[in-house]
Amino acid sequence: MSAQSLINLQDIRKDYPMGEVTVHALSGLDLNVARGEFIVLLGPSGSGKTTTLNLIGGLDRPTSGRLVVDGNEVTGLNETRLAEYRRRSVGFIFQFFNLIPTLTAAENVEFALALTQHGKTLRRQSLDFLAQVGLQDRADHFPSQLSGGEQQRVAIARALANHPPLLLCDEPTGNLDSDTGRQVLQSLRNMNTNEGATVVLVTHNTSIAPMAGRVVHLRNGAVDKIDVNPAPAPVAELAW
């Protein structure tokens, strides 16, 4: 692992017992992700890309192998330490937004802030994060009052609230139309270039791949090939 590596997966295997059959979601995955990179995990359904993301994000545990993030061994952490890892090291963005429906946009961001801070500044900070994604005017709206794109941008603001070094995005545009999807991708690009966040984005949509610095192709639970993109395309040029 190089000194610039943020994420290091070594021979990661993940098996799911499904009755009498065992599904090998990952069969010996090796991958390094450098700090500040924007990579896309691409592959067909069942290739293991979401599983990889879940393992990196601490939402699941590998069957075997080693995962090191930011110099810390994540495999083998107990639930309390994992919670802390997720709190401080990872920002997760889901396909279905996963906002808390009983909280407003600002409160959803505040919810994440409150995990690591206390005090009267949380409200102001949440508004700042919403401003970063262009939603300061929708701060007091509930998810049921926001469009899909707006919900996803709130989710991004929430994911950034604790300044995680790592942003994990699972099909963030999967539930959005292409225009809204591009807005979301632009927000992610901004976080990467302006804030230096490392972004790992999972998608099955090949049209998104050009925006990444590297595209990791997964097949049958392992890395099939890695494409390096020296000149990532602007988000505006992506079309699907």
- Residues at the interface with other proteins (CB under 8 A): 50-51, 54, 57-60, 79-80, 83-88, 90, 92, 94-96, 98-103, 107, 110-112, 114-115, 122, 141-145, 158, 162, 170
- Least distance CB 167 / other proteins (angstroms): 13
Cβ-based nearer residue to other proteins, 122 or 235: 122
Closer CB to other proteins, residue 58 or residue 213?
Answer: 58
**Nearer residue to other proteins within complex by CB, 66 or 87:** 87
Of 143 and 232, CB closest to other proteins:
143
Q: Are 6 and 34 in contact (CB under 8 A)?
A: yes
In the complex, minimum distance from the CB of residue 217 to other proteins, in angstroms, rounded to a whole number? 22
What is the C-alpha to C-alpha distance for residues 64 and 18, in angstroms, rounded to an integer? 18
Which single residue is written with the structure tokens 């999967």?
A: 174
> What does the block give as tokens for 17?
């017992």
Partners of 227 in beta bridges: 215
Residue 209 CB, shortest distance to other proteins, in Å, is 22
- Between the alpha carbon of residue 155 and those of residues 125, 171, 203, 238, the distances in Å are 15, 13, 17, 22
Task: Specify the residue, 38 or 97, whose C-beta has the smaller distance to other proteins.
Answer: 97
**Least separation, in Å, of the C-beta of 214 and other proteins?**
24
Give the nearest distance from C-beta 33 to other proteins in angstroms.
Answer: 19
Asked if residue 108 lies in contact with residue 100, where contact means CB atoms within 8 angstroms, the answer is yes
String of b and e for 105-121 (b: at least 16 CB within 10 Å)?
Answer: bbbbbbbbbeeeeeeee
